[in-house]
């Protein structure tokens, strides 16, 4: 009897221990599951804020327009820096020579920048100016996905306002041959072409054999299906509209590849341009970025420098202070006079 009782108590204890372990396992699994859920939610895309600043469909240039030419929607992501006005001016004066073009400039800014709007009006090009700030969570990333919010804002505007044509991503610091626009205007789905000054190869391009694309020449393939540069392709707007969920990811280095994948593009869809991808019509030039200088004035100038400074400040090229910054001088007959 005693033995049976001991066995019974032992079995009862083991049963209780088993139930306890099962309960603890369930609790641990629950917390793991719930924490994973929070992690997934934390990684979901934050809400984006796009502001339409100004738009104009009026073409004030002297270029000959033609209703038979498809319109090119040239998407330019930009952001405030001291070189911004200079680079938009250089690009704008190139685009002035391209007929049937609408320029979409998306600025990584929390508010509409009057300087950008005023500058865009100078060129007489039909344009849309959008303020498209990058969500703050991505500014803290180890590798920042620059320009994604801008391009997504431009694509959103196109979906709402355009039915046909071709769009192209053109950065404000790149260099474009006017022949490029003739090449991409008749894009049926997706056209591709070489981009100069990219990576260790100094070029990024599709590779053709007997007129067909057999691969890609790019120094950073990284298992991408489409290892191409953002300036290396153009897309027909009807293809975009037929894929309402197509989007560009906030994933640095993979924006082009995953965007093209989201459009359902295959290698067979690609239309090679630039003399069968043997001619470079766009270069990935980049201006060396420098911080905006602060000029130290003891008193505000009472000469032409006052208006010149106001212009510098308006263009985002310089600022001034009475307490800090670069000490400023005016020189006359070899003698410097502090301001």
Which residues are catalytic, by number? 256
d(CA 209, CA 190): 19
d(CA 235, CA 260): 9
d(CA 88, CA 77): 10
**CB-CB contact of 294 with 320 (8 Å):** yes
What are the structure tokens assigned to 68, written together? 């038979």
Please provide residue 323's backbone torsions phi and psi, each rounded to the nearest 5 degrees. Answer: -115, -20
Q: If we measure between CA atoms, which residue out of 190, 146, 142 comes closest to residue 171?
A: 146
Q: If we measure between CA atoms, which residue out of 98, 107, 106 comes closest to residue 125?
A: 98
Say whether 319 counts as a known binding-site residue.
Answer: no
Q: Which residues participate in the annotated binding site?
A: 173
Detail the residues annotated as belonging to a binding site for Mn(2+): 173
């Amino acid at each position: 009897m005693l033995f049976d009782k001991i066995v019974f108590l032992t079995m009862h204890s083991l049963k209780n221990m088993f139930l306890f372990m099962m309960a603890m396992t369930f609790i641990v699994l629950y917390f793991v599951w719930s924490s994973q859920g929070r992690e997934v939610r934390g990684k979901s895309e934050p809400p984006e804020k796009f502001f339409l600043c100004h738009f104009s469909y009026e073409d004030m240039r002297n270029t000959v327009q033609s209703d038979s030419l498809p319109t090119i929607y040239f998407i330019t992501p930009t952001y405030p820096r001291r070189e911004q006005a200079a680079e938009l001016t250089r690009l704008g004066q190139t685009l002035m020579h391209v007929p049937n073009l609408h320029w979409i400039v998306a600025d990584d800014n929390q508010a509409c920048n009057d300087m950008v709007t005023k500058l865009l009006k100078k060129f007489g090009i039909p344009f849309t100016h959008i303020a498209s700030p990058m969500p703050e969570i991505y500014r803290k990333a180890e590798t920042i996905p620059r320009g994604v919010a801008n391009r997504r804002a431009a694509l959103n505007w196109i979906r709402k306002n355009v039915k046909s044509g071709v769009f192209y991503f053109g950065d404000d610091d790149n260099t474009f041959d006017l022949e490029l626009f003739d090449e991409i205007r008749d894009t049926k789905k997706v056209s591709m072409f070489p981009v100069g000054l990219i990576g260790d190869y100094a070029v990024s391009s599709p590779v053709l054999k007997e007129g067909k694309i057999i691969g890609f020449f790019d120094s950073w393939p990284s298992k991408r299906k489409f290892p191409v540069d953002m300036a290396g392709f153009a897309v027909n707007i009807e293809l975009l509209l037929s894929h309402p969920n197509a989007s560009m990811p906030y994933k640095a280095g993979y924006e082009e590849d995953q965007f093209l994948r989201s459009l359902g593009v295959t290698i067979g869809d690609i239309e090679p341009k630039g003399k069968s991808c043997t001619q470079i019509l766009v270069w990935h030039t980049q201006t060396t970025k420098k911080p905006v200088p602060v000029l130290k004035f003891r008193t505000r100038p009472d000469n032409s420098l006052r208006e010149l400074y106001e212009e510098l400040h308006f263009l985002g090229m310089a600022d001034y202070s009475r307490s800090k910054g670069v000490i400023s001088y005016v020189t006359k007959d070899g003698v410097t006079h502090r301001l």
